[in-house]
Structure 1
């Protein structure tokens, strides 16, 4: 794929905190969804949130994305504390990628990317992007390997093409933080590899950008992943540098099933650990 580098919003120096969640709890209708979870993400770090269904991954990502407030604890995103800031305004400073993007209209790929500037699903009435904004959208699509699809309609795209389009959309406001909620959901092997290759290239070209990616599968982690958190039942089981967290022992405990973990050319693989035959 041909890519063109695109400048991302200038942010804090490398290593500066972008997210700080301290002893966060989230309770809904008597159900504890998150229980005393703490996390600090710094500029240039690329975190993976892993765990089984219902572990609290997407719930935590929603807090980090300023979609809701914690029941207890504090969350700071880009230096702003939830509960003391307009969430709608804060969300305009973030890049949030959800493969379940609820678009129903047959917008073109270019139009979808431009909605990242208005933080809306559909183009806003009476809003017209300028030439510089259109040029930026084109450059982002080229960077994501979608340069020849600008005029294609959303319903005609494959799931992988939609995923890369949504990443370009999320990058339009030049965010310092990119949140990805299971971006490889529903992708076949080739589409998944194209997506992960695009993420690796993006992170290499923009070392100041911080990312947090949610997934169930280690095979869906880009090689550029630097840190990981394992969640189970709304609690953090382990967090830290990826190589120290993504071990057979810790991942087995997290998912409640014995697995072996291997890493080849920067990518992780998990396999069930079978009992020896007699």
Structure 2
């Protein structure tokens, strides 16, 4: 365990339903607002630490419902993204953001290289390595995994309302996103967009690249407006919708592969 974490803090990463038989590996990088004991409060108020800057409200709850619906293994980070955002590489400033939206993060300002390394070793490396081992093990067993990361976003950002309700994001491999978006055209009453409210240019697809594109497996990132999943009822509605979209997407990929066994992605993420 990294020096940053105490025995009382527990492990950096958690895995649920390791015995799952479905192809999907669910990932929730921003599952928790918990801060390690040695970090303190980062100089923030309780209200700030419970807000969207510290975690993705509702995302883990939706993941757990999806895990059941899809018989999928779930991997998630147990500590706040303010300490280390596991959807960012160590060299990114936003991995340990000194500012998040309108909030300054006093405890993240002026970090020394040693302090950044301590956080990286305690939180990012265990998360990265755990997920990489899981993907590799599935592939070694002859089970083609599919990587699905789940996030939520605030309905108002820098004072501006966001119309989009569900974002389907991708990097260079758009296969699963394309199929889900096609399936989503038949879903009334929900505003679904491609690469919204963020996209690859915003640096939000690190996990997809690191564990999906580079591994040559289908992958997609889901962004849900957090007011829609603030309560259990909304979480269940959204999980059911996502299960339908993912089910349709996975079926479409299977059909495509059956028609053209040579299709797919090479290890470097390029289309064959």
Determine if the TM-score, normalized by the shorter chain, exceeds 0.5.
no
Q: Which has the higher strand share?
A: 1
Superposition TM-score, scaled by structure 1 size: 0.26
Q: Which has the higher helix share?
A: 2
Superposition TM-score, scaled by structure 2 size: 0.27
Q: For CA contacts below 8 A with separation 6 or more, give which structure has more relative contact order.
A: 1
